[in-house]
Amino acid sequence: MDESRSDRSSQLAGCRVILTAQRKAEQFAGALERHGATIVHAPTLSVIPNIDDPELVARTRALIDARPDVVVVTTGVGFNGWAEVAEAEGLSEQWHAMLSGARIIARGPKARGAIQAAGLTPAWVAESETNSEIQEVLLDEGVRGLRIAVQHHGAGADGLDDAFAAAGAEVSSLVVYRWGPAPDPEAVVAAVGLVAQRRCDAVAFTSAPGVTAFLDSARDQDLLPAVLAALADENGVLAAVVGNVTGAPLVEHGIRPLTPERFRLGSLVRSMVAELSARKQAGEDRRS
């Protein structure tokens, strides 16, 4: 058993991997380091909780009073943050009762897991993990006259509010956290340079806004063509994403990122280990 673990830990020896996420960065890095990878941390965005946001508190109180018919949960971290807001304001019981009386719609398994951890049961889960699927299903059912609360992801507006309102629903928008600037802009600049110069083996993304921020940094440095060329080359730098939504900005530029079948961090790690190991072996074979 110990020998197999030792063999496994050397699979990515010599591989340099850039991680662009702030959330779960240590967990992500540790999983790859156990396989021998060298990690470069360059979070392109910061996650800023809106725990003390008076508007979020006011909207939560209003929902408790008005009792929505439908609550759309787009992210697990956002839902957990909303629970923390309710607890901090002494509203946990009322918040839980409000949700218990609503039809809860979850965008994917992460959101479903957070809902279930709170002792609640989602009525329906968008397995594609896309807002467009939620929008399509609810609009097909009809939302006129319904009170709908939407807990958004960090980028805020995602089209759901406007679509539901246009169809006759009364919509309440909740942004529990938002994306902020890179905590270390110089690290992002350096990471972009590593990709452009092909001095790393992979760059991993866990959010679409994170991808966009990375590409924006490359554009600001006049390195976008070099970065895109490196990511498009099958022998260049591997672009790895946690899911299709995350990878969309890359696909728009003609990049086909590595995407695990299951949109989970653990699945992404396993996919990266397999792909980088194969590339490493192929490179050794070419040199021999």
Neighbours of 221 (CB within 10 A): 15
CA distance 96 to 89: 13
Report the percentage of the chain scoring pLDDT > 90. Answer: 65
Confidence of residue 7 (pLDDT cuts 50, 70, 90): very low
CA distance 82 to 57: 9
Confidence of residue 156 (pLDDT cuts 50, 70, 90): low
The answer as to CATH 3.40.800.10 being correct for domain 48-179 is no
Per-residue pLDDT tens digits for 181-233: 999 999 999 999 999 999 999 999 988 889 999 999 999 999 999 999 999 99
Alpha-carbon Rg of the chain, whole angstroms? 21
Domains 2-45+181-287 and 48-179 share a fold: yes
Neighbours of 8 (CB within 10 A): 14
CB 74 within 8 A of CB 151: yes
The answer as to CATH 3.30.530.20 being correct for domain 2-45+181-287 is no
Using alpha carbons, select from 218, 230, 278, 219 the residue that is nearest to residue 254.
230
Domain borders along the chain are 2-45+181-287, 48-179
Within 13 A of 165's CA, how many CA atoms are on the CB side?
9
Per-residue pLDDT tens digits for 55-95: 889 999 999 999 999 999 998 888 988 998 888 888 999 99
Task: List the structure tokens of 182.
Answer: 């890179």
Asked which of 26-30, 69-73, 77-81, 99-103 is least confident by mean pLDDT, the reply is: 77-81
Per-residue pLDDT at 183: 94
